[in-house]
Chain A
Amino acid sequence: MIFFIRLWPEFKIRRALFRYPFIRVPFFIFSGFIDAQTGVCAVLLKFMHTMKRKLFYVLLPALAVLSGVFIMGCKDNNEPGTDPTVSGSLHLDFDNVVGNEDLKLNAQTYQNSVGESFTVSIFNYYISNFELLRADGGSFIVPQDSSYFLIRESNEASQKATINNVPVGEYTGVRFIVGIDSTRSVADESKRKGILDRFSGPTNEEAMYWDWNPGYIFVKMEGSSPAAVESPNGKYYYHIGGFGGRTVKTLNNIRTVQIDFESKKAVVTTELSPEVHVLADVLKIFDGPTQLSISEHTSVMFDDFSKNIADNYVNMFRFDDINAD
């Protein structure tokens, strides 16, 4: 919505403010200077008009996330506190599959929707910015610092995303993004510890970061295929990333996934830590809005076609089951 403010003429701003009155609130939080007529933060608007483009693309996503957090926070009646007497844990188990089979690295040959056979040697993806959804429409936004995971097929422990300090209650779904949000993608080193550490640890070991065009690789899948005829070693490479650009607007492959727990509920109590099983189906990477052919697209990295793969893999997740504890 902040983009509207920047790009729209005044009457559209007013209309937006009329329709979405809550956007005044985060602006108020930011500055305290609100234009009496439009309700828009005048200082912020002026700043947006005068600042250089390079700031534009860094600051806007940052503000968008901040205001988003604020708005979402308002919806939540439960304090996301850390009091152990009112919070518990929830586990999200990501099970990578190929159709109805369990994914086996290297050992097994599979077939995609265009009939090409392939193996998988690497399958990694970042998921982050979790939000647990309740039946009443409320939600619990997981504090961002505890909300980044790198799922690796080669590392079983990585496939369980544990969320602690979850307010007790019944959850009916989960929302998260595949990838790393733009704010964190340009954040200072001090905000990139653990799984986000570019220089060591899993991100570095698995080479999930582009140094030359700094940004995380959101999804990495590699393997062999007889269809990879263009490839000197018979391998295909899909390295999908792109957070939208630091100084100029570029590729944005951040995708949001929502999974509903169908008729089931994840009941979090101080004693019960439910385990939600989620399946991630590799076949969906090849089959979605775009049918991906290995022979036609043997190597896809930072290029425009990667959007199509992101639009496919956003649909690879599906709910499987919940273990009450």
Chain B
Amino acid sequence: MICLVLASVSCEKGTDSPDPGPVDPKPAPLTWTKPSHFPDPVYDLSKNPLTAEGVELGRFLFYDGILSRTDNIGCGTCHQQQAAFTHHGHDLSHGVDDKLGTRNAPSVQNMAWYTSFFWDGGVHDLDLVPPVPIQNPVEMDEKTGNVLQKLRNTPVAGAAKQVDYPKMFKAAFGTDEINGERMMKALSQFMLTMVSATSRYDYYALGDASALTTQQKEGLALFKQKCSGCHSGELFTDMGFRNNGLIPNKINDQGRYEITLNEADRLKFKVPSLRNVGLTAPYMHDGRYTSLQQVLDHYANDQASSPADSIYNSPSLDPLLKPAGKKPGVRLSATEKQSIIAFLRTLNDEQFITDKRFSDPGIGTSL
């Protein structure tokens, strides 16, 4: 009997590869926790369960310039952590060969709650976000097929930054196969972990009344009254598309219309989240305003610099900016504006912008 067992064991061994090596560890599941005051996430985490290895792979991919044709523009180039993952100081961003885009880089944060992406909401699935900048001729100008091939060819002998992507894909997904689906899923995993919910406002919302000053609380009350028609909920956006009366400039960006070809959508853009808004200047889809003061002056339609209307009254102008029988805009006094700005700054999340889990692992490029 024992002989038989031994014989069968040896037979099994005989069919194994000569050097079986150690058993590969399974990727370690990562628990994704929803902040208690946030709504349920939109992204279906069950179709892409987070793992420590998957998130780490996503972080490397996010920062690695290998995603671009010129190997020097990564996601992190225009989405910088200290500016809440926007492009600090850039109204429009420049990609490969310093080519200029036409829209302001939006923040990468709280992506799990987004129903659509980009200023025009053209993309509905976080997994489909990365190919847009990768293949845009003025951003990374690379084909995803080429990116995959470059990733397969790592580590490159003699390269300054030694990254072994086949090894990282294997750690994250079990085999070293590198394909588009895996790459996008890893990037999504990383971006899903980028949750900003630890601002002073959050502590206030969770019950710490001392987290906000009197002026900030006044600002919050005013905000709820005057701004939350669009910037609603804990994400401070209704995820809708609205025309906020910006005068079209030379770019003549038609926004949402370019996706739907519906006349009613002309000049409409995604209502952005206001989380970290104090860190994400310049503002608006084309970055035309450099300060929150300018933004509020626009909405109040009383810019100090010019007596002319700042709000451009076109057929798709948002009804909330068209009070019956009055000039367009939201009535705000100078003091009210100051209180609202004081409140908006409490949405800055210092923990989020310094969290090492979201930082460049040492492969990024900033321009």
Contacts and interface: CB of A to CB of B under 8 A. Distances in A.
Interface of A: 189, 197-201, 204-205, 207, 211-214, 245-248, 250-251, 302-304
Main secondary structure of the interface of B (DSSP, over half): helix
A222 B260 CA distance: 25
B132 A212 contact: yes
B221 interface: no
Interface in B133-181: 134-136, 143-145, 148, 179-181
Interface of B: 116, 118, 120, 122-124, 127-128, 131-132, 134-136, 143-145, 148, 179-181, 183-184, 258-262
A205 B128 contact: no
A214 B143 contact: no
Contacts of A198: 131, 144, 180
A245 B131 contact: no
A212 B181 CA distance: 17
Given A199-B145, A213-B122, A304 B261 contact: yes
A200 B180 contact: yes
Contacts of A213: 120, 122-123, 258-259
A199 B258 contact: no
Contacts of A246: 124
Contact of A212 (B123, B143, B179, B261): B123
B260 A200 contact: no
Of A199, A200, A245, A250, which is in contact with the most chain B CB atoms at under 10 Å from its CB?
A199
Contacts of B144: 198-200, 204
B365 to A, nearest CB: 22
A198 B118 CA distance: 19
A250 B148 contact: no
22 contacts: A189-B180, A189-B181, A198-B131, A198-B144, A199-B148, A199-B179, A199-B184, A200-B144, A200-B180, A204-B143, A204-B144, A205-B145, A211-B131, A212-B118, A212-B122, A212-B123, A213-B120, A213-B122, A214-B128, A247-B124, A251-B261, A303-B261
Contacts of A201: 145
A200 B260 CA distance: 27
A29 B127 CA distance: 33
A199 B135 CA distance: 10
A259 B323 CA distance: 59
Across the A-B interface, give the 10 residue pairs with the lowest CB-CB distance, nearest first.
Answer: A199-B180, A200-B145, A204-B145, A213-B122, A211-B131, A211-B132, A199-B144, A189-B181, A212-B122, A212-B132
A246 B260 CA distance: 10
Contacts of A212: 118, 120, 122-123, 132, 136
Nearest to B143: A204
Given A197-B180, A207-B135, A302 B261 contact: yes
Nearest to A251: B261
A17 to B, nearest CB: 33
A235 to B, nearest CB: 14
A198 B181 CA distance: 9
A199 B123 contact: no
Contacts of A205: 143, 145
Contacts of B258: 213, 302
A211 B128 contact: yes
Contacts of B145: 199-201, 204-205
Contacts of B183: 199
Nearest to B122: A213
Contacts of A207: 135, 143
Contact of B260 (A197, A204, A245): A245
B135 A211 contact: yes
Contacts of B262: 248, 250
Nearest to B133: A211
Contacts of B132: 211-212
Nearest to A200: B145
A302 B132 CA distance: 16
A245 B145 CA distance: 26
B123 A214 contact: yes
Contacts of B179: 199-200
B261 A250 contact: yes
Nearest to A245: B260
A75 to B, nearest CB: 36
A116 to B, nearest CB: 27
Given A204-B180, A214-B124, A248-B262, 9 more contacts: A199-B145, A199-B148, A199-B180, A199-B183, A200-B145, A207-B143, A214-B122, A250-B259, A250-B260
Contacts of A214: 122-124, 128
Contacts of B122: 212-214
Contacts of B148: 199-200
A247 B265 CA distance: 14
